[in-house]
Structure 1
Amino acid sequence: MQSHTHDLTFTGGEVQKRFLTWSEGEADREWACLQAIEAHAPGIAPRPLRRETVGGHPVVVMSRLPGDALGGAPLTPAQTASLGQTLRRLHGIPLDRVMASGIGERRLGPSTLRPALRGWLRAPEDLSACHDPALVRAGIDAAAAWLSSSDALPAPEIVSLGIADLNPANILWDGRTCRLVDFEDGGLTDPAYDLADHVEHIAGRLTGVFDAGTLLAAVGISDEGKDRFHAYRPLWAAFWLAMLLPGNGGFSRNPSGSTEAQARHLLGLLGQ
């Protein structure tokens, strides 16, 4: 099995995750996150077994977890409750222990995503491949204006370890428990920021996998965290609009009309 960043080999009770490059530090993040989880919240993610180098590529070997990947349908109440408990355990790992493991801010974290999006959405785009270029352009312009506003986003509270990429395919359900895989982008984060990322992930949002209100309740996020969650949602909606523009991989991988639907969704979050 291969993705754009790694390939997976399943052997008995082990999974060998071979990364295609060293350049983004994915293997280091994965290994450090799994070690921290195994030490302080065991059972919610694979056990880190060993690191290898195969054919010049970094490899993380981990235990194989039971269960099937979620996605394609809304979570059941039992799945939402279990996912909330799993995320609470992840977020509850003591911050000093995470930092002592040498783990830095998650990829596309609170300090880096906003400036990156400004650049991605400022570049001129040929939108002729879109069904409704005017709608997509309106979404781009609204996102760019919002990102430029000095009060667009609250200051994050970097207090926990996060998985970053909660594509529903990274949640394994064995009938009783949700466990998490794929920590190559994980790191220090604000739980509200990661929850906004999770809810806005295109793989879950288009099929209604996550219900924002029930997931927030299951995680037990504070009222202040809920405010930050709602403030961060347009940021991640803008990210997915950028990923769905012509020329990017998301444009060809997702159903026709997804770019327009994303622009409409973002405009709705911005009240436009």
Structure 2
Amino acid sequence: MQTQTHDLTFTTSEVRKRYVSWDRGEADREWACLTLLAQHAPGVAPKPLRKETSDGGPVVVMERIPGEPLGGAPLTSAQTASLGRALRRLYDVPLEAVRDSGLQERIYGPTTHAAMVAEWLGDSSDLTQCRDAEQVQWAVDAASAWLADPDSLPEPQLVALGISDLNPANVLWDGDICRLVDFEDGGLTDPAYELADHVEHIAGRLAGVFDRDALVDAVGLAPEERERMRAYRPLWAAFWLAMLLPGNGGFRRNPSGTTEAQAKHLMELLT
């Protein structure tokens, strides 16, 4: 799996984001998302300024917005409330406008993700490299069985615009307002699916960055959406387990025992 998708350069007023390839359409998705937000939810994300090509790669130039990346510590109540408002404004971009923009389903979207995760979990991994191979195998088998059950997950919906990757580093806080950056994987999605992804993101979950219940309240998910979110959380926990298996970058980058901790977390969601 490709880990580096872009390079960033900064001036006092602009950010130039050069993508390493055209293959996955990141530049087009980013431009479309930023354009929609500038029109329908100004202030949530940087304004798009222009598109360029540099050294054969696509470039999106956007305004530089104030703030420092979150992460490493739990959000304060003010940060959670502001992030919830930003996500709500994102999800409230008119669906017709999103469809008219030409944006398709987000990367790792609700119609395809379960099959992909099942395939990744089914790939052979040398679990002897794990601290507790038996525990990890147990979780892999349980997740695979859960994913094989057609009743495990809700019927997919594509009803809103989403950012896709809410690594806490993609949330900028200026002391008053949270703003969102990095829409290269964004597109059509389901708010419940998005929130499940966000609260299960390993960069936020391991550091306790997001208060799950407080964030859901701040976004204002309806009761039916909260049920859908709960149903989707094991899918994202299984995704991160797959990313943390030996042979994948997550296994190399994280401390020993992280895979076992993810296996334990997944089993807690499944029981």
Identify whether the pair has TM-score above 0.5, normalized to the shorter chain.
yes
| Aligned residue number for residue 49 of structure 1 | 49
SS at match of 1:188: strand
Structure 1 CA distance for aligned equivalents of residues 112 and 64 of structure 2: 32
- RMSD after superposition: 0.8
Per-residue deviation, residues 157-195 of structure 1 (Å, max 9, x unmatched): 321100000000000000000000000000000000000
**Structure 2: stretches of 5+ with no match in the other structure:** none
| Aligned residue number for residue 233 of structure 2 | 233
- How many residue pairs match? The answer is 269
Is residue 161 from structure 1 mapped to residue 139 from structure 2 by the alignment? no
| Aligned residue number for residue 103 of structure 1 | 103
Give runs of aligned pairs for residues 110-259 of structure 1, distance below 5 A: 110-259=110-259
Structure 2 CA distance for aligned equivalents of residues 53 and 254 of structure 1: 35
Stretches of 4+ aligned residues off by more than 4 angstroms:
none
Structure 2 CA distance for aligned equivalents of residues 118 and 110 of structure 1: 14
Per-residue deviation, residues 122-175 of structure 1 (Å, max 9, x unmatched): 112111111001111111101100000010101133211000000000000000
| Aligned residue number for residue 25 of structure 1 | 25
* Identity value in percent: 65
Structure 1 CA distance for aligned equivalents of residues 40 and 153 of structure 2: 31
| Aligned residue number for residue 13 of structure 1 | 13
| Aligned residue number for residue 85 of structure 2 | 85
Give 1:245's aligned amino acid.
L
Give 1:261's aligned amino acid.
A
Give 1:210's aligned amino acid.
F
8 Å CA contact 2:68–2:174 kept in 1: the answer is yes
Give 1:246's aligned amino acid.
P
SS at match of 1:179: strand
Per-residue deviation, residues 65-121 of structure 1 (Å, max 9, x unmatched): 101000011110000000000001000000000111111100000011111111111
8 Å CA contact 2:110–2:157 kept in 1: the answer is no
SS at match of 2:255: coil
Question: CA shift at 1:11, angstroms?
Answer: 1.4
Structure 1 CA distance for aligned equivalents of residues 77 and 32 of structure 2: 32
Structure 2 CA distance for aligned equivalents of residues 161 and 266 of structure 1: 27
